[in-house]
Protein backbone atom coordinates (compact mmCIF):
# COMPACT_ATOMS: atom_id res chain seq x y z
CA UNK A 1 0.00 0.00 0.00
CA UNK A 2 1.18 3.51 -0.83
CA UNK A 3 0.33 6.71 1.02
CA UNK A 4 1.05 10.10 -0.49
CA UNK A 5 2.26 12.85 1.82
CA UNK A 6 0.82 16.07 0.44
CA UNK A 7 3.98 18.16 0.82
CA UNK A 8 7.28 18.97 -0.87
CA UNK A 9 8.85 20.26 2.36
CA UNK A 10 11.77 17.90 3.05
CA UNK A 11 11.79 18.68 6.76
CA UNK A 12 8.13 17.80 7.03
CA UNK A 13 8.59 14.65 4.92
CA UNK A 14 11.34 13.40 7.29
CA UNK A 15 9.12 14.02 10.31
CA UNK A 16 6.03 12.40 8.79
CA UNK A 17 7.94 9.33 7.58
CA UNK A 18 9.28 8.88 11.09
CA UNK A 19 5.81 9.23 12.58
CA UNK A 20 4.35 6.67 10.16
CA UNK A 21 7.22 4.17 10.26
CA UNK A 22 5.21 1.60 12.25
CA UNK A 23 2.83 1.09 9.35
CA UNK A 24 3.80 -1.33 6.59
CA UNK A 25 3.19 1.15 3.82
CA UNK A 26 5.30 2.89 1.22
CA UNK A 27 5.46 6.61 1.89
CA UNK A 28 5.88 8.94 -1.08
CA UNK A 29 5.72 12.72 -1.31
CA UNK A 30 4.64 15.19 -3.97
CA UNK A 31 8.25 15.26 -5.18
CA UNK A 32 7.92 11.59 -6.15
CA UNK A 33 4.94 11.95 -8.50
CA UNK A 34 5.62 12.48 -12.19
CA UNK A 35 2.49 14.47 -13.05
CA UNK A 36 2.36 17.65 -11.01
CA UNK A 37 -0.90 18.97 -9.57
CA UNK A 38 -1.08 21.91 -7.20
CA UNK A 39 -3.73 22.56 -4.56
CA UNK A 40 -4.01 26.12 -3.30
CA UNK A 41 -4.31 26.55 0.46
CA UNK A 42 -6.93 29.27 0.53
CA UNK A 43 -9.18 28.26 3.41
CA UNK A 44 -9.57 30.14 6.69
CA UNK A 45 -8.66 27.33 9.13
CA UNK A 46 -5.93 24.71 9.41
CA UNK A 47 -8.46 21.88 9.24
CA UNK A 48 -10.16 23.24 6.12
CA UNK A 49 -6.80 23.58 4.35
CA UNK A 50 -5.67 20.09 5.34
CA UNK A 51 -8.96 18.54 4.22
CA UNK A 52 -8.90 20.38 0.90
CA UNK A 53 -5.37 19.18 0.15
CA UNK A 54 -5.98 15.59 1.23
CA UNK A 55 -9.25 15.24 -0.69
CA UNK A 56 -8.14 16.88 -3.95
CA UNK A 57 -4.81 15.03 -4.12
CA UNK A 58 -6.47 11.70 -3.25
CA UNK A 59 -9.06 12.08 -6.00
CA UNK A 60 -6.53 13.35 -8.55
CA UNK A 61 -3.86 10.67 -7.97
CA UNK A 62 -6.27 7.88 -6.91
CA UNK A 63 -4.17 7.12 -3.85
CA UNK A 64 -4.70 7.56 -0.09
CA UNK A 65 -3.28 10.89 1.05
CA UNK A 66 -2.09 12.31 4.35
CA UNK A 67 -2.10 16.11 4.44
CA UNK A 68 -1.53 18.51 7.26
CA UNK A 69 -1.79 22.22 7.73
CA UNK A 70 0.24 23.58 10.57
CA UNK A 71 1.25 26.96 11.82
CA UNK A 72 2.38 29.29 14.53
CA UNK A 73 -0.18 31.20 16.57
CA UNK A 74 1.22 34.14 18.55
CA UNK A 75 -1.03 35.74 21.17
CA UNK A 76 0.51 39.23 20.96
CA UNK A 77 0.04 39.23 17.18
CA UNK A 78 -3.68 38.50 17.34
CA UNK A 79 -3.14 34.79 16.54
CA UNK A 80 -1.02 35.55 13.50
CA UNK A 81 0.73 34.15 11.48
CA UNK A 82 -1.87 31.36 11.74
CA UNK A 83 -2.88 29.94 8.37
CA UNK A 84 -0.44 32.37 6.74
CA UNK A 85 2.54 30.83 8.56
CA UNK A 86 4.23 29.42 5.45
CA UNK A 87 4.18 32.77 3.64
CA UNK A 88 3.93 35.27 6.47
CA UNK A 89 6.83 37.31 5.08
CA UNK A 90 4.89 38.24 1.93
CA UNK A 91 1.51 39.32 3.33
CA UNK A 92 0.68 42.94 4.13
CA UNK A 93 0.12 42.39 7.88
CA UNK A 94 3.13 43.95 9.62
CA UNK A 95 4.86 44.75 6.34
CA UNK A 96 6.52 42.52 3.76
CA UNK A 97 10.07 41.15 3.98
CA UNK A 98 11.72 41.23 0.57
CA UNK A 99 15.35 40.26 1.33
CA UNK A 100 16.18 37.93 -1.58
CA UNK A 101 19.33 36.72 0.18
CA UNK A 102 17.25 35.00 2.86
CA UNK A 103 15.28 31.77 2.68
CA UNK A 104 11.51 31.72 3.21
CA UNK A 105 12.01 30.40 6.75
CA UNK A 106 14.51 33.14 7.55
CA UNK A 107 12.21 35.85 6.25
CA UNK A 108 9.25 34.51 8.22
CA UNK A 109 11.35 34.39 11.40
CA UNK A 110 12.72 37.88 10.78
CA UNK A 111 9.21 39.27 10.47
CA UNK A 112 7.91 37.62 13.65
CA UNK A 113 10.90 38.78 15.69
CA UNK A 114 10.57 42.31 14.32
CA UNK A 115 6.88 42.46 15.26
CA UNK A 116 7.66 41.05 18.71
CA UNK A 117 10.37 43.59 19.57
CA UNK A 118 9.77 44.93 23.08
CA UNK A 119 6.75 42.67 23.61
CA UNK A 120 6.55 41.15 27.10
CA UNK A 121 3.78 38.67 26.29
CA UNK A 122 5.65 36.10 24.18
CA UNK A 123 3.22 33.20 24.60
CA UNK A 124 2.51 31.20 21.46
CA UNK A 125 1.57 27.76 20.25
CA UNK A 126 2.09 25.52 17.27
CA UNK A 127 -1.11 24.01 15.85
CA UNK A 128 -1.44 21.08 13.46
CA UNK A 129 -4.46 19.55 11.74
CA UNK A 130 -3.80 16.32 9.86
CA UNK A 131 -6.16 14.52 7.51
CA UNK A 132 -6.08 11.04 5.96
CA UNK A 133 -8.30 10.82 2.90
CA UNK A 134 -9.08 7.80 0.74
CA UNK A 135 -9.95 8.12 -2.97
CA UNK A 136 -12.97 5.98 -2.08
CA UNK A 137 -14.46 9.10 -0.53
CA UNK A 138 -13.90 8.93 3.22
CA UNK A 139 -11.38 10.37 5.63
CA UNK A 140 -10.10 10.79 9.17
CA UNK A 141 -8.63 13.79 10.95
CA UNK A 142 -6.83 14.72 14.16
CA UNK A 143 -5.48 17.86 15.77
CA UNK A 144 -2.52 18.66 18.00
CA UNK A 145 -1.06 21.66 19.80
CA UNK A 146 2.23 22.52 21.46
CA UNK A 147 2.28 25.46 23.86
CA UNK A 148 5.36 27.62 24.29
CA UNK A 149 6.85 31.05 23.77
CA UNK A 150 8.73 33.11 21.18
CA UNK A 151 12.43 33.59 21.93
CA UNK A 152 14.34 36.83 21.46
CA UNK A 153 16.54 35.38 18.71
CA UNK A 154 16.91 32.13 16.69
CA UNK A 155 18.59 29.17 18.36
CA UNK A 156 19.39 25.74 16.90
CA UNK A 157 19.52 24.25 13.41
CA UNK A 158 17.80 20.87 13.66
CA UNK A 159 14.29 21.96 12.78
CA UNK A 160 12.60 24.01 10.09
CA UNK A 161 10.04 26.77 9.83
CA UNK A 162 9.69 28.71 13.07
CA UNK A 163 11.41 26.03 15.18
CA UNK A 164 14.49 28.21 15.95
CA UNK A 165 12.36 30.85 17.72
CA UNK A 166 9.85 28.60 19.50
CA UNK A 167 10.63 27.30 22.98
CA UNK A 168 8.17 24.58 24.08
CA UNK A 169 6.56 24.88 27.49
CA UNK A 170 8.77 23.25 30.14
CA UNK A 171 11.91 23.36 27.99
CA UNK A 172 14.95 25.62 28.02
CA UNK A 173 15.70 24.82 24.37
CA UNK A 174 13.95 25.69 21.13
CA UNK A 175 12.32 23.15 18.83
CA UNK A 176 15.35 23.52 16.55
CA UNK A 177 17.63 22.31 19.34
CA UNK A 178 15.74 19.05 19.88
CA UNK A 179 16.48 15.72 18.20
CA UNK A 180 13.70 14.52 15.89
CA UNK A 181 12.51 11.77 18.26
CA UNK A 182 12.26 14.20 21.17
CA UNK A 183 10.56 16.80 19.00
CA UNK A 184 8.00 14.32 17.69
CA UNK A 185 7.02 13.35 21.25
CA UNK A 186 5.96 16.89 22.13
CA UNK A 187 5.31 18.69 18.85
CA UNK A 188 1.93 19.72 17.52
CA UNK A 189 2.44 17.54 14.46
CA UNK A 190 3.64 14.61 16.54
CA UNK A 191 0.58 14.81 18.77
CA UNK A 192 -1.78 15.11 15.82
CA UNK A 193 -0.19 12.13 14.07
CA UNK A 194 -0.23 10.08 17.24
CA UNK A 195 -4.00 10.55 17.40
CA UNK A 196 -4.37 9.84 13.68
CA UNK A 197 -2.16 6.75 13.94
CA UNK A 198 -4.50 5.28 16.55
CA UNK A 199 -7.37 5.65 14.13
CA UNK A 200 -5.37 4.34 11.15
CA UNK A 201 -4.16 1.30 13.09
CA UNK A 202 -7.72 0.02 13.11
CA UNK A 203 -7.84 0.25 9.32
CA UNK A 204 -4.31 -0.39 8.04
CA UNK A 205 -2.75 -3.73 8.98
Give catalytic residues, as residue numbers: 69
CB-count exposure of residue 166 (10 Å: 0-12, 13-18, 19+): buried
b/e string for 78-115 if b means 16 or more Cβ within 10 A? eebbbbbbbebbeeeeeeebeeeeeeebebbbbbbeeb
Amino acid sequence: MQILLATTNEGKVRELRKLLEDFRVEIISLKDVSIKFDVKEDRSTFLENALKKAKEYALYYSIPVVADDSGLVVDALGSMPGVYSARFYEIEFGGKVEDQAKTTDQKNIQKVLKLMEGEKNRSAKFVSCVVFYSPEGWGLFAEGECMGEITEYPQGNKGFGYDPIFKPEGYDRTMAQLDIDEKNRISHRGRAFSKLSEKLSKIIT
